[in-house]
Amino acid sequence: MIKIIIADDQVLLRKSLGQIISTDEEIIVADMVGSGKEAIASCEKNKPDIVLMDIEMPQMDGISALKIIKEKYPEIKVIILTTFDNAENIVESFLSEADGYIVKDIDCEELITTIKCVNYGLTVVHKSVKKIMVNKFKKMSNSKKTYTDLLSLEEIDMIRLIVAGKSNKEIGKAFGYTEGTVKNKVSRIYEKLKIKDRLQLAVYAVENGIE
């Protein structure tokens, strides 16, 4: 039997959640509370397997309560169930060791499945949360890339000549390309670095040590 606590400041919502979850014979709702502080106290009293935790609550928000619960009762799993699927809440929740993050438009059967999966030791995220996390990771990955990851050796050499004040015609002579080919290659460099002109390229070169 999976013992669960529901923490949500909206009385009607937490009662509805309790009724939905209680329809499954493998889950028992041990308590329903309206704040983070009450959730912590209920964990001490009821020793649940899982806490289903809203974020926006009075007295103490869900993420603050999550941190304390994980510190005092690391064996208790916490699923964040919230209306808000913004990146800051998601990151802070998982940094605080949340075991799942789902939003309140989840289907009833999906909610029960989520509870069971988390009880088995899996970490579950809602599909909209996954999309936000993937985008966040992509931005983090892109921000770590250096010019050597983005540019070929030839492109780096071209940048050096551009910064030295060489024209497309002069660069073409150096590489054996036509002036039109050089122009296309320089445009490609601009696209890769997300810049617009030679001035911005010169600034990029200085900032990144391309000499």
Q: What amino acid is encoded at 13 in this protein?
A: L
Residue 16's contacts (CB-CB under 8 Å, 6 or more residues apart) are none
What pTM did the predictor assign?
0.65
pLDDT, residue 145, reads 66
pLDDT, residue 13, reads 93
Q: Which residues of the chain have pLDDT under 70?
A: 136-145
Question: For residues 76 and 66, what is the distance between their CA atoms, to the nearest angstrom?
Answer: 10
Give the CATH class of 147-207.
mainly alpha
Residue-wise pLDDT tens digits, 43-92: 999 999 999 999 999 889 999 999 999 999 999 999 999 887 777 888 88
pLDDT, residue 141, reads 60
Residues of the chain with CATH 3.40.50.2300: 2-140
pLDDT, residue 8, reads 96
62 is written with which tokens?
């869900």
CATH assignment of 2-140? 3.40.50.2300
Contacts 24+ apart (CB under 8 A), 172-178: none
Q: What amino acid is encoded at 197 in this protein?
A: D
43 is written with which tokens?
């964990």
What string of DSSP letters covers 103-154?
Answer: ETT--HHHHHHHHHHHHTT--EE-HHHHHHHHHHHHHHHHHT--HHHHS-HH
Residues of the chain with CATH 1.10.10.10: 147-207
Closest CA to 189 of 202, 179, 170, 206: 202
194 is written with which tokens?
């997300």
pLDDT, residue 139, reads 67
pLDDT, residue 128, reads 77
Q: What are phi and psi of 179, to 5 degrees?
A: -60, -35
Question: For residues 164 and 161, what is the distance between their CA atoms, to the nearest angstrom?
Answer: 5
* Number of other CB atoms surrounding residue 134 within 10 Å: 10
